Copies of this chain bind each other. A is one copy, B any other.
Amino acid sequence: MGFKVVAEDALRQLERDLMAYGCAVEQLPAGELNSCGWRVRFQAPSGHHFELYADKEYTGKWGLNDVNPEAWPRDLKGMAAVRFDHALMYGDELPATYDLFTKVLGFYLADKVLDENGTRVAQFLSLSSEAHDVAFIHHPEKGRLHHVSFHLETWEDLLRAADLISMIDTSIDIGPARHGLTHGKTIYFFDPSGNRNEVFCGGDYNYPDHRPVTWTTDQLGKAIFYHDRILNYGFMTRLW
Contact surface of A with B, Cβ cutoff 8 Å: 4-7, 58, 60-61, 66-72, 74, 82-83, 128-130, 151, 153-156, 159, 162-167, 169, 172, 175-178, 180, 183, 185, 202, 204-205, 207-216, 219, 222-223, 226-229
Contact = CB atoms under 8 A, between A and B. Distances in A.
Nearest to A151: B205
A27 B66 CA distance: 41
A178 B71 contact: yes
Nearest to A210: B61
Contacts of A82: 205
18 contacts: A7-B209, A58-B211, A60-B211, A61-B205, A66-B212, A66-B214, A68-B222, A70-B166, A74-B167, A82-B205, A129-B129, A151-B205, A153-B202, A154-B155, A155-B156, A163-B226, A166-B227, A176-B177
A82 B207 CA distance: 14
Given A61-B204, A159-B185, 14 more contacts: A6-B208, A61-B205, A61-B210, A68-B214, A68-B219, A71-B167, A83-B205, A154-B154, A154-B156, A155-B159, A159-B178, A163-B178, A172-B229, A176-B177
A40 B210 CA distance: 21
A206 B70 CA distance: 16
B128 A207 contact: yes
Nearest to A157: B156
Nearest to A183: B71
A163 B72 contact: yes
| 4 tightest Cβ-Cβ pairs between the two chains A and B | A128-B129, A71-B163, A6-B209, A156-B156
A146 B189 CA distance: 30
